[in-house]
């Protein structure tokens, strides 16, 4: 139970870490994660979400060593944003979108093609507001692993003592584990 709480707290710290960047990208409209994600609609995938928020989450929370994944080299490349070096051990890829992406499922075809071309079992897509996990066949996200960062953040900030009781938190922990 303590480990689960530490994982959540580590995630919240990452989301709180970039107040200056929230302000800069939003032209001083938003100075925190909650407002930025609730109200923001920015093309921030390559400048912020991918290199900062997701990269920190991948390393600090998912405990992925920096040398164990490959990052997409170019925003125009036809490859996923993050690929484990050994897809036999880690049979998934990650696709990152900006806060201007409201419906992650609208990128299912892109994610599905990456799953097939990389020969992995799962594809994960996120904009750091929501995260959805897909297998190659069903066109709907795997509900037991798909969760909302925004809901996790809001629940933790408003009710930290009962954060482990929320269904979204359970999905988050299932994904992380």
Looking at residue 75, its pLDDT comes to 55
Q: pTM for this structure?
A: 0.91
Name the token pair of 172.
């988050």
Q: Which residues lie closer than 8 Å to 87 by C-beta, 6 or more apart?
A: 93, 118, 119, 120
Looking at residue 76, its pLDDT comes to 56
Containing 130, the helix (H) or strand (E) segment is strand 130-135
Neighbours of 65 (CB within 10 A): 9
Q: Which residue has the higher pLDDT, 89 or 143?
A: 143
107-142 per-position pLDDT tens digit: 999 999 999 888 899 999 999 999 999 987 777 889
**3-class SS at 71?**
strand
What does the alpha-carbon distance between residue 66 and residue 95 come to, in Å, rounded to a whole number? 17
Looking at residue 79, its pLDDT comes to 82
Mean pLDDT of 100-112: 92
Looking at residue 170, its pLDDT comes to 98
**Among positive and negative, which fits the CA dihedral 103, 105, 33, 100?**
negative
Q: Which residues lie closer than 8 Å to 170 by C-beta, 6 or more apart?
A: 164
The structure tokens 């904009």 sit at: 127
């Amino acid at each position: 139970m303590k480990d689960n709480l530490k994982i959540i707290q580590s995630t919240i710290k990452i989301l709180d870490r970039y107040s200056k960047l929230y302000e800069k990208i939003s032209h001083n409209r938003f100075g925190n994660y909650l407002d930025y994600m609730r109200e923001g609609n920015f093309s921030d995938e390559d400048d912020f979400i991918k290199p900062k928020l997701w990269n920190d989450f991948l390393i600090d929370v998912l405990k992925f060593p920096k040398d164990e994944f490959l990052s997409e080299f170019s925003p125009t490349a036809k490859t996923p944003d993050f690929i484990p070096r050994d897809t036999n051990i880690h049979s998934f890829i990650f696709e990152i979108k900006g806060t201007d992406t409201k419906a992650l499922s609208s990128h299912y075809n892109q994610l599905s093609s990456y799953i097939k071309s990389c020969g992995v079992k799962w594809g994960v897509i996120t904009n750091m507001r929501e995260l959805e996990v897909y297998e190659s066949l069903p066109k709907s996200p795997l509900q037991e692993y798909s969760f909302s960062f925004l809901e996790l953040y809001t629940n933790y900030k408003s009710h930290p003592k009962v954060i482990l009781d929320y269904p979204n938190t359970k999905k988050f922990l299932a994904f992380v584990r």
